[in-house]
Structure 1
Protein backbone atom coordinates (compact mmCIF):
# COMPACT_ATOMS: atom_id res chain seq x y z
CA UNK A 1 0.00 0.00 0.00
CA UNK A 2 3.05 2.28 -0.13
CA UNK A 3 1.80 3.62 -3.47
CA UNK A 4 -0.99 5.49 -1.66
CA UNK A 5 1.13 8.03 0.32
CA UNK A 6 3.41 8.48 -2.69
CA UNK A 7 0.37 9.30 -4.85
CA UNK A 8 -1.13 11.76 -2.37
CA UNK A 9 2.22 13.54 -1.99
CA UNK A 10 2.61 13.69 -5.78
CA UNK A 11 -0.88 15.14 -6.21
CA UNK A 12 -0.17 17.91 -3.71
CA UNK A 13 3.16 18.82 -5.33
CA UNK A 14 1.60 18.78 -8.80
CA UNK A 15 -1.20 21.09 -7.71
CA UNK A 16 1.37 23.64 -6.51
CA UNK A 17 3.49 23.19 -9.65
CA UNK A 18 0.45 23.86 -11.84
CA UNK A 19 -0.35 26.96 -9.80
CA UNK A 20 3.14 28.37 -10.28
CA UNK A 21 3.06 27.45 -13.99
CA UNK A 22 -0.19 29.33 -14.40
CA UNK A 23 1.43 32.38 -12.82
CA UNK A 24 4.45 32.16 -15.12
CA UNK A 25 2.25 31.56 -18.20
CA UNK A 26 0.91 35.10 -17.88
CA UNK A 27 4.28 36.42 -19.07
CA UNK A 28 5.91 33.60 -21.06
CA UNK A 29 4.88 31.16 -23.79
CA UNK A 30 3.85 27.54 -23.33
CA UNK A 31 7.25 26.09 -24.29
CA UNK A 32 9.11 28.35 -21.85
CA UNK A 33 6.74 27.50 -19.01
CA UNK A 34 7.12 23.81 -19.86
CA UNK A 35 10.91 24.11 -19.65
CA UNK A 36 10.60 25.69 -16.20
CA UNK A 37 9.19 22.36 -15.06
CA UNK A 38 12.36 20.48 -16.00
CA UNK A 39 15.27 22.92 -15.96
CA UNK A 40 16.31 22.37 -12.32
CA UNK A 41 14.52 19.05 -11.86
CA UNK A 42 17.33 17.11 -13.57
CA UNK A 43 20.02 17.96 -10.99
CA UNK A 44 17.51 17.32 -8.19
CA UNK A 45 16.66 13.91 -9.66
CA UNK A 46 20.39 13.15 -9.86
CA UNK A 47 20.87 14.06 -6.20
CA UNK A 48 17.89 11.88 -5.27
CA UNK A 49 19.36 8.85 -7.10
CA UNK A 50 22.81 9.50 -5.58
CA UNK A 51 21.24 9.63 -2.13
CA UNK A 52 19.53 6.28 -2.72
CA UNK A 53 22.86 4.64 -3.53
CA UNK A 54 24.43 6.18 -0.44
CA UNK A 55 21.57 4.67 1.54
CA UNK A 56 21.88 1.24 -0.11
CA UNK A 57 25.34 1.05 -1.73
CA UNK A 58 24.95 -2.69 -2.51
CA UNK A 59 22.10 -2.08 -4.96
CA UNK A 60 23.03 -3.19 -8.48
CA UNK A 61 23.35 -0.81 -11.40
CA UNK A 62 20.71 -1.20 -14.12
CA UNK A 63 21.14 -2.90 -17.47
CA UNK A 64 19.46 -0.90 -20.23
CA UNK A 65 17.84 -2.38 -23.33
CA UNK A 66 16.76 -0.85 -26.62
CA UNK A 67 13.10 -1.21 -25.62
CA UNK A 68 13.81 0.63 -22.37
CA UNK A 69 15.10 3.65 -24.28
CA UNK A 70 12.07 3.55 -26.59
CA UNK A 71 9.88 3.92 -23.49
CA UNK A 72 12.10 6.70 -22.10
CA UNK A 73 11.98 8.72 -25.34
CA UNK A 74 8.23 8.19 -25.73
CA UNK A 75 7.53 9.21 -22.14
CA UNK A 76 9.78 12.29 -22.38
CA UNK A 77 8.16 13.55 -25.58
CA UNK A 78 4.59 12.88 -24.44
CA UNK A 79 5.12 14.66 -21.13
CA UNK A 80 6.50 17.72 -22.91
CA UNK A 81 3.47 17.76 -25.24
CA UNK A 82 1.02 17.18 -22.39
CA UNK A 83 2.50 19.97 -20.25
CA UNK A 84 2.54 22.44 -23.15
CA UNK A 85 -1.11 21.63 -23.91
CA UNK A 86 -2.09 22.12 -20.27
CA UNK A 87 -0.33 25.48 -20.15
CA UNK A 88 -2.32 26.37 -23.26
CA UNK A 89 -5.48 25.38 -21.37
CA UNK A 90 -4.63 27.91 -18.67
CA UNK A 91 -4.72 30.57 -21.39
CA UNK A 92 -8.01 29.33 -22.90
CA UNK A 93 -9.97 28.72 -19.71
CA UNK A 94 -9.74 29.28 -15.98
CA UNK A 95 -7.20 27.40 -13.89
CA UNK A 96 -9.47 24.78 -12.31
CA UNK A 97 -11.27 23.95 -15.58
CA UNK A 98 -7.96 23.53 -17.39
CA UNK A 99 -6.69 21.06 -14.81
CA UNK A 100 -10.04 19.27 -14.82
CA UNK A 101 -9.88 18.67 -18.57
CA UNK A 102 -6.31 17.42 -18.36
CA UNK A 103 -7.32 14.95 -15.62
CA UNK A 104 -9.09 12.82 -18.22
CA UNK A 105 -5.68 11.14 -17.98
CA UNK A 106 -6.97 8.52 -15.50
CA UNK A 107 -9.69 7.31 -17.88
CA UNK A 108 -7.27 7.16 -20.81
CA UNK A 109 -4.75 5.28 -18.66
CA UNK A 110 -7.37 2.67 -17.79
CA UNK A 111 -8.52 2.20 -21.40
CA UNK A 112 -5.04 2.13 -22.97
CA UNK A 113 -3.58 0.10 -20.12
CA UNK A 114 -6.13 -2.67 -20.51
CA UNK A 115 -6.04 -2.59 -24.31
CA UNK A 116 -2.29 -2.42 -24.95
CA UNK A 117 -0.26 -2.81 -21.72
CA UNK A 118 -1.75 -5.88 -20.07
CA UNK A 119 -3.30 -3.99 -17.18
CA UNK A 120 -5.93 -5.94 -15.25
CA UNK A 121 -8.62 -3.95 -13.47
CA UNK A 122 -11.29 -5.43 -11.24
CA UNK A 123 -14.91 -4.20 -11.48
CA UNK A 124 -14.23 -2.19 -8.33
CA UNK A 125 -11.23 -0.59 -10.01
CA UNK A 126 -13.28 0.34 -13.09
CA UNK A 127 -15.97 1.82 -10.82
CA UNK A 128 -13.35 3.96 -9.09
CA UNK A 129 -12.00 5.22 -12.43
CA UNK A 130 -15.50 6.10 -13.65
CA UNK A 131 -16.54 7.85 -10.44
CA UNK A 132 -13.25 9.72 -10.34
CA UNK A 133 -13.81 11.05 -13.85
CA UNK A 134 -17.32 12.25 -12.97
CA UNK A 135 -16.07 13.82 -9.74
CA UNK A 136 -13.31 15.74 -11.52
CA UNK A 137 -15.86 17.11 -13.97
CA UNK A 138 -18.08 18.30 -11.14
CA UNK A 139 -15.32 19.82 -9.02
CA UNK A 140 -13.58 21.60 -11.87
CA UNK A 141 -16.76 23.27 -13.06
CA UNK A 142 -17.09 21.39 -16.37
CA UNK A 143 -20.78 20.77 -15.73
CA UNK A 144 -21.52 24.47 -15.38
CA UNK A 145 -19.81 25.39 -18.66
CA UNK A 146 -20.69 22.26 -20.68
CA UNK A 147 -22.92 24.27 -22.98
CA UNK A 148 -20.43 27.05 -23.66
CA UNK A 149 -17.04 25.31 -23.65
CA UNK A 150 -15.37 25.73 -27.02
CA UNK A 151 -14.43 22.70 -29.15
CA UNK A 152 -10.83 23.95 -29.14
CA UNK A 153 -10.67 23.91 -25.34
CA UNK A 154 -12.20 20.44 -25.25
CA UNK A 155 -9.78 19.04 -27.85
CA UNK A 156 -6.72 20.55 -26.17
CA UNK A 157 -7.86 19.21 -22.78
CA UNK A 158 -8.50 15.68 -24.01
CA UNK A 159 -5.20 15.66 -25.95
CA UNK A 160 -3.37 16.77 -22.81
CA UNK A 161 -4.97 13.99 -20.77
CA UNK A 162 -4.16 11.39 -23.45
CA UNK A 163 -0.53 12.53 -23.60
CA UNK A 164 -0.18 12.40 -19.82
CA UNK A 165 -1.67 8.88 -19.82
CA UNK A 166 0.83 7.64 -22.41
CA UNK A 167 3.65 9.21 -20.40
CA UNK A 168 2.60 7.38 -17.26
CA UNK A 169 2.11 4.03 -19.01
CA UNK A 170 5.55 4.18 -20.64
CA UNK A 171 7.17 5.26 -17.37
CA UNK A 172 5.72 2.20 -15.63
CA UNK A 173 6.85 -0.12 -18.43
CA UNK A 174 10.37 1.33 -18.31
CA UNK A 175 10.51 0.89 -14.52
CA UNK A 176 9.40 -2.74 -14.76
CA UNK A 177 12.04 -3.50 -17.41
CA UNK A 178 14.91 -2.49 -15.11
CA UNK A 179 13.99 -5.13 -12.51
CA UNK A 180 15.64 -3.22 -9.68
CA UNK A 181 14.39 -3.06 -6.11
CA UNK A 182 12.09 -0.24 -5.04
CA UNK A 183 12.60 2.73 -5.46
CA UNK A 184 15.73 2.49 -7.61
CA UNK A 185 14.02 1.63 -10.90
CA UNK A 186 11.70 4.63 -10.61
CA UNK A 187 14.63 6.90 -9.72
CA UNK A 188 16.62 5.84 -12.80
CA UNK A 189 13.63 6.37 -15.08
CA UNK A 190 12.99 9.77 -13.51
CA UNK A 191 16.57 10.94 -14.05
CA UNK A 192 16.73 9.80 -17.69
CA UNK A 193 13.30 11.16 -18.64
CA UNK A 194 13.88 14.57 -17.04
CA UNK A 195 17.43 14.79 -18.42
CA UNK A 196 16.24 14.13 -21.97
CA UNK A 197 13.37 16.59 -21.62
CA UNK A 198 15.70 19.33 -20.42
CA UNK A 199 18.12 18.81 -23.30
CA UNK A 200 15.32 18.81 -25.89
CA UNK A 201 13.63 21.95 -24.59
CA UNK A 202 16.82 23.94 -24.01
CA UNK A 203 18.01 23.04 -27.51
CA UNK A 204 14.66 23.93 -29.08
CA UNK A 205 14.35 27.30 -27.33
CA UNK A 206 18.02 28.08 -27.89
CA UNK A 207 17.51 27.72 -31.63
CA UNK A 208 13.98 29.07 -32.03
CA UNK A 209 13.33 31.47 -29.17
CA UNK A 210 16.42 32.57 -27.16
CA UNK A 211 14.52 35.44 -25.46
CA UNK A 212 12.37 32.83 -23.70
CA UNK A 213 15.44 31.46 -21.95
CA UNK A 214 16.30 34.98 -20.87
CA UNK A 215 12.72 35.35 -19.61
CA UNK A 216 13.13 32.31 -17.36
CA UNK A 217 16.44 33.66 -16.07
CA UNK A 218 14.68 36.89 -15.09
CA UNK A 219 12.19 34.92 -12.95
CA UNK A 220 14.54 32.67 -10.96
CA UNK A 221 12.33 32.27 -7.89
CA UNK A 222 9.21 31.21 -9.80
CA UNK A 223 11.23 28.97 -12.12
CA UNK A 224 12.91 27.29 -9.13
CA UNK A 225 9.57 26.72 -7.37
CA UNK A 226 8.13 25.09 -10.49
CA UNK A 227 11.16 22.81 -10.90
CA UNK A 228 11.27 21.78 -7.24
CA UNK A 229 7.56 20.98 -7.06
CA UNK A 230 7.80 19.17 -10.38
CA UNK A 231 10.72 17.00 -9.28
CA UNK A 232 9.14 16.14 -5.93
CA UNK A 233 5.84 15.36 -7.63
CA UNK A 234 7.56 13.19 -10.24
CA UNK A 235 9.36 11.23 -7.51
CA UNK A 236 5.95 10.51 -6.01
CA UNK A 237 4.28 9.61 -9.33
CA UNK A 238 7.12 7.48 -10.67
CA UNK A 239 7.50 5.62 -7.37
CA UNK A 240 3.77 4.95 -7.08
CA UNK A 241 3.50 3.77 -10.69
CA UNK A 242 6.36 1.33 -10.20
CA UNK A 243 4.27 -0.29 -7.46
CA UNK A 244 0.71 -0.15 -8.83
CA UNK A 245 -1.14 0.14 -12.15
CA UNK A 246 -1.28 3.59 -13.71
CA UNK A 247 -5.10 3.69 -13.81
CA UNK A 248 -5.42 3.20 -10.05
CA UNK A 249 -2.59 5.61 -9.23
CA UNK A 250 -4.02 8.34 -11.44
CA UNK A 251 -7.55 7.83 -10.14
CA UNK A 252 -6.42 8.30 -6.56
CA UNK A 253 -4.28 11.20 -7.77
CA UNK A 254 -7.42 13.05 -8.80
CA UNK A 255 -7.49 14.46 -5.27
CA UNK A 256 -5.19 16.97 -6.94
CA UNK A 257 -8.35 18.73 -8.14
CA UNK A 258 -9.33 19.36 -4.51
CA UNK A 259 -5.88 20.80 -3.83
CA UNK A 260 -6.21 22.85 -7.02
CA UNK A 261 -9.51 24.38 -5.93
CA UNK A 262 -8.06 25.33 -2.56
CA UNK A 263 -5.00 26.90 -4.18
CA UNK A 264 -7.17 28.67 -6.73
CA UNK A 265 -9.28 30.14 -3.94
CA UNK A 266 -6.61 31.09 -1.39
CA UNK A 267 -3.51 31.69 -3.52
CA UNK A 268 -5.01 33.26 -6.65
CA UNK A 269 -7.98 34.79 -4.77
CA UNK A 270 -10.30 33.33 -7.41
CA UNK A 271 -13.97 33.57 -6.57
CA UNK A 272 -15.33 30.04 -6.71
CA UNK A 273 -18.95 28.99 -6.89
CA UNK A 274 -20.38 26.89 -4.06
CA UNK A 275 -18.83 23.48 -4.36
CA UNK A 276 -20.91 20.56 -5.43
CA UNK A 277 -21.00 18.14 -2.52
CA UNK A 278 -21.64 15.27 -4.90
CA UNK A 279 -18.25 15.89 -6.47
CA UNK A 280 -16.51 15.80 -3.09
CA UNK A 281 -18.32 12.59 -2.13
CA UNK A 282 -17.47 10.93 -5.45
CA UNK A 283 -13.76 11.74 -5.07
CA UNK A 284 -13.77 10.00 -1.68
CA UNK A 285 -15.73 7.00 -3.00
CA UNK A 286 -13.44 6.72 -6.06
CA UNK A 287 -10.36 6.80 -3.82
CA UNK A 288 -11.79 4.07 -1.59
CA UNK A 289 -12.64 1.94 -4.64
CA UNK A 290 -9.16 2.07 -6.12
CA UNK A 291 -7.46 1.47 -2.76
CA UNK A 292 -9.59 -1.63 -2.22
CA UNK A 293 -9.30 -2.78 -5.84
Structure 2
Protein backbone atom coordinates (compact mmCIF):
# COMPACT_ATOMS: atom_id res chain seq x y z
CA UNK A 1 0.00 0.00 0.00
CA UNK A 2 2.81 2.45 0.92
CA UNK A 3 4.66 1.88 -2.34
CA UNK A 4 1.41 2.21 -4.30
CA UNK A 5 0.34 5.63 -3.02
CA UNK A 6 3.89 6.96 -3.37
CA UNK A 7 4.07 5.77 -6.98
CA UNK A 8 0.70 7.30 -7.92
CA UNK A 9 1.58 10.59 -6.18
CA UNK A 10 4.93 10.90 -7.96
CA UNK A 11 3.26 10.11 -11.29
CA UNK A 12 0.62 12.78 -10.60
CA UNK A 13 3.22 15.39 -9.65
CA UNK A 14 5.32 14.68 -12.76
CA UNK A 15 2.37 14.86 -15.16
CA UNK A 16 0.98 17.97 -13.46
CA UNK A 17 4.27 19.79 -14.00
CA UNK A 18 3.97 19.12 -17.74
CA UNK A 19 0.28 20.00 -17.76
CA UNK A 20 0.98 23.40 -16.20
CA UNK A 21 3.65 24.09 -18.80
CA UNK A 22 1.28 23.21 -21.66
CA UNK A 23 -1.57 25.18 -20.06
CA UNK A 24 0.60 28.26 -19.87
CA UNK A 25 1.40 27.89 -23.59
CA UNK A 26 -2.27 27.47 -24.45
CA UNK A 27 -3.30 30.51 -22.37
CA UNK A 28 -1.48 32.81 -24.83
CA UNK A 29 -4.13 32.18 -27.54
CA UNK A 30 -7.15 30.75 -25.67
CA UNK A 31 -9.18 32.40 -22.90
CA UNK A 32 -9.39 31.22 -19.30
CA UNK A 33 -12.47 29.02 -19.74
CA UNK A 34 -11.09 27.46 -22.89
CA UNK A 35 -7.84 26.51 -21.15
CA UNK A 36 -9.94 25.11 -18.29
CA UNK A 37 -11.99 22.97 -20.69
CA UNK A 38 -8.78 21.75 -22.35
CA UNK A 39 -7.95 20.07 -19.07
CA UNK A 40 -11.03 17.83 -19.26
CA UNK A 41 -12.24 17.51 -22.85
CA UNK A 42 -10.06 14.57 -23.96
CA UNK A 43 -9.91 13.26 -20.40
CA UNK A 44 -13.46 11.91 -20.65
CA UNK A 45 -12.81 9.28 -23.38
CA UNK A 46 -9.50 8.43 -21.71
CA UNK A 47 -11.29 7.85 -18.39
CA UNK A 48 -13.87 5.60 -20.09
CA UNK A 49 -11.14 3.55 -21.78
CA UNK A 50 -9.17 3.28 -18.52
CA UNK A 51 -12.21 2.06 -16.56
CA UNK A 52 -13.06 -0.54 -19.21
CA UNK A 53 -9.48 -1.83 -19.28
CA UNK A 54 -9.46 -1.99 -15.50
CA UNK A 55 -12.53 -4.24 -15.43
CA UNK A 56 -11.07 -6.42 -18.20
CA UNK A 57 -7.67 -6.97 -16.60
CA UNK A 58 -8.73 -6.70 -12.93
CA UNK A 59 -12.30 -8.08 -12.96
CA UNK A 60 -14.40 -7.95 -9.80
CA UNK A 61 -17.79 -9.43 -8.95
CA UNK A 62 -19.12 -6.52 -6.91
CA UNK A 63 -21.74 -4.18 -8.36
CA UNK A 64 -21.22 -0.46 -7.86
CA UNK A 65 -23.89 1.63 -6.09
CA UNK A 66 -23.84 5.44 -6.14
CA UNK A 67 -25.37 7.13 -3.11
CA UNK A 68 -26.84 10.63 -3.01
CA UNK A 69 -23.87 11.74 -0.90
CA UNK A 70 -21.53 10.43 -3.59
CA UNK A 71 -23.07 12.65 -6.27
CA UNK A 72 -23.10 15.67 -3.97
CA UNK A 73 -19.38 15.21 -3.35
CA UNK A 74 -18.73 14.70 -7.07
CA UNK A 75 -20.65 17.77 -8.24
CA UNK A 76 -19.09 20.11 -5.67
CA UNK A 77 -15.61 18.68 -6.31
CA UNK A 78 -16.06 19.10 -10.08
CA UNK A 79 -17.13 22.74 -9.76
CA UNK A 80 -14.37 23.50 -7.24
CA UNK A 81 -11.74 22.06 -9.60
CA UNK A 82 -13.08 24.14 -12.50
CA UNK A 83 -12.82 27.29 -10.37
CA UNK A 84 -9.36 26.29 -9.10
CA UNK A 85 -8.12 25.75 -12.65
CA UNK A 86 -9.60 29.03 -13.88
CA UNK A 87 -7.91 30.90 -11.02
CA UNK A 88 -4.60 29.15 -11.75
CA UNK A 89 -4.83 30.16 -15.41
CA UNK A 90 -5.56 33.73 -14.29
CA UNK A 91 -2.28 33.62 -12.36
CA UNK A 92 -0.45 33.09 -15.65
CA UNK A 93 -1.47 36.64 -16.56
CA UNK A 94 -0.12 38.20 -13.36
CA UNK A 95 3.28 39.90 -13.35
CA UNK A 96 4.13 38.19 -10.07
CA UNK A 97 3.00 34.77 -11.34
CA UNK A 98 5.58 32.79 -9.36
CA UNK A 99 4.41 34.23 -6.03
CA UNK A 100 0.79 33.48 -6.89
CA UNK A 101 1.59 29.87 -7.79
CA UNK A 102 3.46 29.51 -4.51
CA UNK A 103 0.35 30.73 -2.68
CA UNK A 104 -1.82 28.31 -4.70
CA UNK A 105 0.37 25.51 -3.36
CA UNK A 106 -1.05 26.24 0.09
CA UNK A 107 -3.48 23.48 -0.90
CA UNK A 108 -1.80 20.87 1.34
CA UNK A 109 -2.01 23.08 4.45
CA UNK A 110 -5.60 24.12 3.71
CA UNK A 111 -6.62 20.51 3.06
CA UNK A 112 -5.10 19.49 6.41
CA UNK A 113 -7.01 22.23 8.26
CA UNK A 114 -10.33 21.44 6.50
CA UNK A 115 -9.90 17.72 7.11
CA UNK A 116 -9.16 18.12 10.81
CA UNK A 117 -11.88 20.72 11.48
CA UNK A 118 -14.74 19.32 9.39
CA UNK A 119 -13.97 15.64 8.78
CA UNK A 120 -12.25 14.57 12.01
CA UNK A 121 -9.06 13.60 10.16
CA UNK A 122 -6.05 12.95 12.35
CA UNK A 123 -2.43 13.78 11.50
CA UNK A 124 0.61 12.88 13.56
CA UNK A 125 3.06 15.53 14.75
CA UNK A 126 5.57 14.45 12.10
CA UNK A 127 2.89 14.70 9.41
CA UNK A 128 1.91 18.23 10.50
CA UNK A 129 5.55 19.27 10.53
CA UNK A 130 6.02 17.82 7.05
CA UNK A 131 2.93 19.64 5.70
CA UNK A 132 4.08 23.01 7.13
CA UNK A 133 7.65 22.46 5.97
CA UNK A 134 6.41 21.66 2.48
CA UNK A 135 4.46 24.93 2.41
CA UNK A 136 7.56 26.92 3.39
CA UNK A 137 9.61 25.08 0.76
CA UNK A 138 7.18 25.88 -2.05
CA UNK A 139 7.08 29.52 -0.93
CA UNK A 140 10.88 29.71 -1.21
CA UNK A 141 10.92 27.97 -4.57
CA UNK A 142 8.28 30.35 -5.95
CA UNK A 143 10.45 33.28 -4.76
CA UNK A 144 7.61 34.37 -2.54
CA UNK A 145 10.10 36.21 -0.36
CA UNK A 146 10.47 38.77 -3.17
CA UNK A 147 7.50 41.02 -2.48
CA UNK A 148 8.34 43.67 -5.06
CA UNK A 149 5.25 44.30 -7.12
CA UNK A 150 3.18 42.04 -4.91
CA UNK A 151 -0.53 42.79 -5.16
CA UNK A 152 -3.59 41.87 -3.09
CA UNK A 153 -5.13 40.56 -6.31
CA UNK A 154 -2.39 37.95 -6.65
CA UNK A 155 -2.88 36.99 -3.00
CA UNK A 156 -6.63 36.48 -3.47
CA UNK A 157 -6.27 34.55 -6.72
CA UNK A 158 -3.44 32.36 -5.40
CA UNK A 159 -5.03 31.46 -2.07
CA UNK A 160 -8.43 31.10 -3.74
CA UNK A 161 -6.98 28.59 -6.18
CA UNK A 162 -5.32 26.67 -3.36
CA UNK A 163 -8.56 26.60 -1.36
CA UNK A 164 -10.59 25.33 -4.32
CA UNK A 165 -8.01 22.62 -5.04
CA UNK A 166 -8.07 21.64 -1.36
CA UNK A 167 -11.89 21.34 -1.38
CA UNK A 168 -11.68 19.25 -4.55
CA UNK A 169 -9.14 16.88 -3.03
CA UNK A 170 -11.06 16.43 0.23
CA UNK A 171 -14.36 15.73 -1.55
CA UNK A 172 -12.74 13.36 -4.05
CA UNK A 173 -11.53 11.26 -1.12
CA UNK A 174 -14.96 11.40 0.54
CA UNK A 175 -16.63 10.29 -2.71
CA UNK A 176 -14.16 7.42 -3.01
CA UNK A 177 -14.95 6.28 0.53
CA UNK A 178 -18.64 6.12 -0.44
CA UNK A 179 -17.76 3.28 -2.86
CA UNK A 180 -16.55 0.97 -0.08
CA UNK A 181 -17.94 -2.06 -1.93
CA UNK A 182 -15.13 -1.77 -4.49
CA UNK A 183 -11.33 -2.19 -4.36
CA UNK A 184 -9.38 1.06 -4.02
CA UNK A 185 -8.20 1.31 -7.62
CA UNK A 186 -11.73 0.72 -8.97
CA UNK A 187 -13.15 3.32 -6.59
CA UNK A 188 -10.67 5.90 -7.80
CA UNK A 189 -11.45 5.17 -11.46
CA UNK A 190 -15.21 5.63 -10.95
CA UNK A 191 -14.63 8.91 -9.10
CA UNK A 192 -12.31 10.09 -11.86
CA UNK A 193 -14.84 9.28 -14.59
CA UNK A 194 -17.68 10.90 -12.62
CA UNK A 195 -15.81 14.14 -11.94
CA UNK A 196 -14.56 14.52 -15.53
CA UNK A 197 -18.04 13.77 -16.91
CA UNK A 198 -19.65 16.50 -14.81
CA UNK A 199 -16.90 18.95 -15.75
CA UNK A 200 -17.13 18.26 -19.49
CA UNK A 201 -20.93 18.52 -19.55
CA UNK A 202 -20.90 21.76 -17.57
CA UNK A 203 -18.12 23.42 -19.57
CA UNK A 204 -19.39 22.32 -23.01
CA UNK A 205 -22.91 23.52 -22.16
CA UNK A 206 -21.64 26.89 -20.89
CA UNK A 207 -19.23 27.56 -23.76
CA UNK A 208 -21.70 26.25 -26.36
CA UNK A 209 -24.22 28.85 -25.20
CA UNK A 210 -22.03 31.84 -24.39
CA UNK A 211 -18.61 31.47 -26.03
CA UNK A 212 -18.53 29.32 -29.14
CA UNK A 213 -15.47 31.17 -30.39
CA UNK A 214 -13.58 29.61 -27.48
CA UNK A 215 -14.40 26.14 -28.81
CA UNK A 216 -13.11 27.23 -32.22
CA UNK A 217 -9.88 28.50 -30.61
CA UNK A 218 -9.40 25.12 -28.93
CA UNK A 219 -9.96 23.35 -32.26
CA UNK A 220 -7.30 25.54 -33.83
CA UNK A 221 -4.83 24.42 -31.12
CA UNK A 222 -5.96 20.79 -31.13
CA UNK A 223 -2.51 19.27 -30.63
CA UNK A 224 -1.71 21.43 -27.60
CA UNK A 225 -5.23 20.91 -26.23
CA UNK A 226 -4.72 17.14 -26.39
CA UNK A 227 -1.38 17.44 -24.56
CA UNK A 228 -3.07 19.41 -21.77
CA UNK A 229 -5.89 16.84 -21.53
CA UNK A 230 -3.57 13.83 -21.56
CA UNK A 231 -1.25 15.20 -18.88
CA UNK A 232 -4.23 16.33 -16.81
CA UNK A 233 -5.87 12.91 -17.06
CA UNK A 234 -2.68 11.14 -15.97
CA UNK A 235 -2.21 13.62 -13.11
CA UNK A 236 -5.81 13.24 -11.91
CA UNK A 237 -5.55 9.46 -12.16
CA UNK A 238 -2.52 9.59 -9.90
CA UNK A 239 -4.03 12.06 -7.41
CA UNK A 240 -7.41 10.34 -7.18
CA UNK A 241 -5.90 6.89 -6.71
CA UNK A 242 -3.39 8.05 -4.10
CA UNK A 243 -6.07 9.99 -2.19
CA UNK A 244 -8.27 6.89 -2.16
CA UNK A 245 -5.47 5.12 -0.30
CA UNK A 246 -4.30 7.71 2.25
CA UNK A 247 -5.25 11.13 3.63
CA UNK A 248 -5.18 14.17 1.35
CA UNK A 249 -2.60 16.33 3.23
CA UNK A 250 -0.07 13.50 3.14
CA UNK A 251 -0.55 12.98 -0.60
CA UNK A 252 -0.46 16.69 -1.41
CA UNK A 253 2.66 17.31 0.68
CA UNK A 254 4.57 14.57 -1.12
CA UNK A 255 3.02 15.90 -4.34
CA UNK A 256 4.80 19.22 -3.81
CA UNK A 257 7.78 17.48 -5.37
CA UNK A 258 6.01 18.62 -8.55
CA UNK A 259 7.85 21.90 -8.22
CA UNK A 260 11.15 20.05 -8.53
CA UNK A 261 9.95 18.54 -11.80
CA UNK A 262 8.86 22.03 -12.92
CA UNK A 263 12.28 23.48 -12.15
CA UNK A 264 14.00 20.62 -14.00
CA UNK A 265 11.76 21.25 -17.02
CA UNK A 266 12.64 24.95 -16.87
CA UNK A 267 16.35 24.22 -16.50
CA UNK A 268 16.42 21.64 -19.32
CA UNK A 269 14.20 23.36 -21.86
CA UNK A 270 14.63 27.03 -20.96
CA UNK A 271 18.21 26.89 -19.60
CA UNK A 272 17.21 28.71 -16.41
CA UNK A 273 19.64 28.55 -13.47
CA UNK A 274 18.64 28.04 -9.84
CA UNK A 275 19.30 30.73 -7.26
CA UNK A 276 20.53 29.95 -3.73
CA UNK A 277 17.07 30.10 -2.11
CA UNK A 278 15.79 27.55 -4.61
CA UNK A 279 18.43 25.05 -3.50
CA UNK A 280 17.20 25.54 0.07
CA UNK A 281 13.63 25.07 -1.14
CA UNK A 282 14.50 21.84 -2.95
CA UNK A 283 16.11 20.47 0.19
CA UNK A 284 13.05 21.35 2.27
CA UNK A 285 10.70 19.70 -0.26
CA UNK A 286 12.71 16.48 -0.01
CA UNK A 287 12.74 16.68 3.80
CA UNK A 288 8.97 17.31 3.89
CA UNK A 289 8.43 14.31 1.60
CA UNK A 290 10.53 12.08 3.89
CA UNK A 291 8.59 13.25 6.95
CA UNK A 292 5.13 12.53 5.50
CA UNK A 293 6.22 9.10 4.21
CA UNK A 294 7.70 8.29 7.63
CA UNK A 295 4.56 9.58 9.36
Query: TM-score when scaled to structure 1?
Result: 0.96
Cα distance, 1:276 vs. partner? 2.9
Once residues 176 and 163 of structure 2 are traced to their aligned partners in structure 1, the CA distance between those partners, rounded to angstroms, is 20
Q: How many matched pairs?
A: 292
Which residue of structure 2 lines up, in the alignment, with residue 163 of structure 1? 164
Secondary structure at 1:183 match in 2: helix
Residue 219 of structure 1 is matched in structure 2 by: 221
Q: Are the equivalent residues in 1 in contact too, given 2:16–2:232 (CA < 8 A)?
A: yes
What's 2:106 paired with? 104
62, 80, 83: which is aligned to 1:60?
62
What residue number does 1:92 align with? 94
> Quick check: 1:53–1:59 contact (8 Å CA) kept in 2?
no
2:259 maps to what in 1? Answer: 257
SS of the residue aligned with 2:92? helix
Deviation at 1:196, TM superposition (A): 0.7
User: What is the aligned partner in structure 2 of residue 239 from structure 1?
Assistant: 241
1:75 aligns with 77
- Separation of aligned partners in 2, 1:240 and 1:78: 19
- Once the 2 structures are TM-superposed, how far is the Cα of residue 278 of structure 1 from its aligned partner? 1.9
1:283 corresponds to: 285
Conserved in 2, the CA contact under 8 Å of 1:99 and 1:257? no
Give the Cα separation in 2 of the matches to 1:285 and 1:57.
39
Contact persistence 2:140–2:278 (CA under 8 A): yes
Q: 1:135 aligns with which of 134, 137, 141?
A: 137
Deviation at 1:182, TM superposition (A): 2.0
Judge which range, 56-65 or 277-286, deviates more: 56-65
What is the CA–CA distance in structure 2 between the aligned matches of 1:119 and 1:59, rounded to whole Å? 31
Match of 1:28 in 2: 30
Computed over aligned residues only, the root mean square deviation of the Cα atoms, in angstroms, reads: 1.4
Question: SS at the partner of 1:92?
Answer: coil
Q: Secondary structure of 2:256's match?
A: helix
Partners of 2:281 and 2:27 lie apart in 1 by 28
Alpha-carbon deviations, 1:161-198, whole Å to 9, x = none?
A: 00000000000000011011020000000001001101
TM-score normalised over the length of structure 2: 0.95
Contact kept, 8 Å, 1:22 with 1:95, in 2: the verdict is no
Q: Distance in 2 between matches of 1:107 and 1:69?
A: 26
Deviations 1:183-233 (A, max 9, x none): 000000000100110110111111111000000001111000000000011
Q: What 5-or-longer segments of structure 1 have no aligned partner?
A: none
| Residues 1:108 and 1:249: Cα distance change in structure 2 (over 3 Å) | same
Asked if the contact 2:189–2:241 (Cα under 8 Å) also holds between the matched residues in 1, the reply is yes
Aligned-residue offset at 1:281: 1.4
CA distance in 1, matches of 2:49, 2:214: 27
